[in-house]
A and B are shown apart, each in its own frame.
Chain A
């Protein structure tokens, strides 16, 4: 088949046998799922049996880049990853599948495609530390003894130097010591600054795979070049002429903006992106002068600095740099450090648990020593490394139910966003999606902050983002039918559960295409436009497909992932509303503007019953069984997914 957009090949890497082979991309698979992670889930359904141990050689990882990836399309480095995750997702310690997609990449995804592959299927485990070199001149499993033990920045640097291309760096996806030590909360990092992803590092470590390197010059071909560039230019002009467009971050918060402007020493963008968002920050003064960390949002060191009573921003940079280098998720680890330190201060754990370590808020040395204990799998650190549910079992406290000291935990992972602090979160899908979506807790969860003309953004916090007109305009851009629009939107309101189904399908479509779903700092997101993306896809691949069929491909990906998790015993009872959110229906959060209770998009206070109703509406709109929270046979048949019993 003469492929355009797609490389047209899948690479199979068998680390047990030290062998690689390639197969033509199945056109049916591409048509049904567009790209990873959906294509990966379909393969995993046949390759894996229920109950597989995520850290055994039997677990299989599928990583790849969708058809628009590696083109000039903004944010087109969004790699998809399908696998079973090592962190327990339930109190009885069951594990589940997650559709992960990196925030983006510069070289890794683009060079994978240019090496001639849409995706890599990694099976087995190498008998010694290894790395995978994927180029257009051949694929090799190489020894990585000299890289083992290096941190993430050192490994990326070493591999860039070793496999440099003619015009730039190779792509690198790597783990640090935390992944090597198979710590379930370890992450893997792509191109030195982007996560791919949370809880992925240990699976690579269990396969003795230190890194995957990509490099090639095959080129991404376009079927109808004139049309592709015309359609692209139309959107590019729309973005560049948007009144809120900025190529660099604008935090709309004087303090945060000031710190960013003072400390930013470097900023990176993903392939073709018109809005760079990965800053390297460096302290300019104080005891930690010179300390820096890569890849982050400046609000994270400021927020956690306050919580952890670390006064100097530079100290937070040093702490976060340590986490980045070892390959531990910054958010999860900082939240755990806070929680465990509070337990120590409350007298609920002692020096016996911590291996003699005294934990005090604001004590940097203690924080760094705690990180060492996680990486070395010692004492309380060993428990922390196994995730929140494991920690809860050992300490006999549920951090997900502790309003002040705990956090919002969904399927075993602290959610990226917490609806208590994002008062409009439970509006257009983000908060609800956290609950029902395997990926939601890891990301923005069908990110859906409408950015239309009615919205004004004058502060960092989202209170002013409450325009019904903007939500409606954004929903229309997903290509919904008039009947669907009518079902979702009333004259002064919308139905969150129903809307969420479509925002999720659209998000899975964006990821499958290989593009970022939050291009240009969430300020103006004209690329979240299914009819326009369909035109891009048609011009790129030559495939005749309607916007509605594209959205259905996103829906198919979502259902495929759910099927895998249903096989692992997950259902509606696992789609739990975080306990701390339920508590927030009664206990207020004190913040700017007074006390806040859990609220919807319009600021209306919610009850637990309202949340259950949202869930009911969501499952109904999906055509799933409301009692079990699982796809019905009829719905699956309607999507052409007939493999399930």
Chain B
């Protein structure tokens, strides 16, 4: 699955939740995966409607290559 900003490879997701943790911490002020704007339920990985345009934090915190910026894909 590809979004305009980020490239997703669900096969590489380890469900470590780092993307959800940094997302929720940044936008809700607490580590709260349920408040994240990325859904992690492999093979489903998708961004919610309230995902912040231009934000690439989830990709920056993914060390497994499951969510990457297009230029790094």
Contacts and interface: CB of A to CB of B under 8 A. Distances in A.
A and B: bona fide binding partners? yes
Interface of A: 70-72, 106-107, 110-111, 114, 164-169, 215-222, 225, 240, 247-248, 267-274, 276
Contacts of B21: 71-72, 271-272
A117 B19 CA distance: 23
Interface of B: 14-18, 20-22, 24-25, 28-36, 38-41, 48, 61, 63-64
A513 to B, nearest CB: 15
A247 B32 contact: no
B14 A269 contact: yes
Nearest to A169: B41
Task: Decide if the interface of chain B is mainly helix, strand, loop or mixed.
Answer: mixed
B36 A240 contact: no
Nearest to B64: A247
Contacts of B35: 167, 217, 219
Contacts of B20: 167-168
Candidate in A164, A269, A270 with the most chain B CB atoms within 10 angstroms: A269
Contact of B18 (A72, A167, A248): A72
B17 to A, nearest CB: 5
B16 A271 contact: yes
B64 A164 contact: no
Ranked nearest first, the 9 interchain pairs of A and B with the lowest CB-CB distance are A219-B30, A219-B32, A217-B34, A269-B14, A269-B16, A220-B31, A276-B14, A72-B21, A247-B63
A166 B41 CA distance: 10
B16 A106 contact: yes
Contact of A167 (B14, B22, B29, B40): B40
A114 B32 contact: yes
A272 B24 CA distance: 13
A242 to B, nearest CB: 13
Given A168-B39, A247-B64, A110 B17 contact: yes
B30 A274 contact: no
Contact of A71 (B28, B31, B48, B63): B31
Nearest to A220: B31
Contacts of A164: 41
A167 B31 contact: no
Contacts of A169: 15, 41
B34 A114 contact: yes
Contact of B14 (A110, A215, A225, A267): A267
A268 B17 CA distance: 11
A490 to B, nearest CB: 40
A268 B14 contact: yes
Given A72-B21, A167-B38, A240-B63, A272 B32 contact: no
A248 B40 CA distance: 20
A353 to B, nearest CB: 44
A272 B16 contact: yes
Contacts of B22: 72
A111 B32 CA distance: 9
A167 B30 contact: no
Contacts of A274: 63
Given A166-B39, A168-B41, A269-B14, 11 more contacts: A167-B40, A167-B48, A218-B30, A220-B30, A220-B32, A222-B25, A225-B25, A225-B29, A269-B15, A271-B17, A274-B63
Nearest to A69: B31
Nearest to A248: B64
A601 to B, nearest CB: 32
Nearest to B61: A72
A272 B14 CA distance: 10
Contacts of A240: 63
A271 B16 CA distance: 5
B34 A270 contact: no
A272 B19 CA distance: 9
A166 B34 contact: yes
Contacts of B25: 72, 222, 225
Contacts of A166: 34, 39
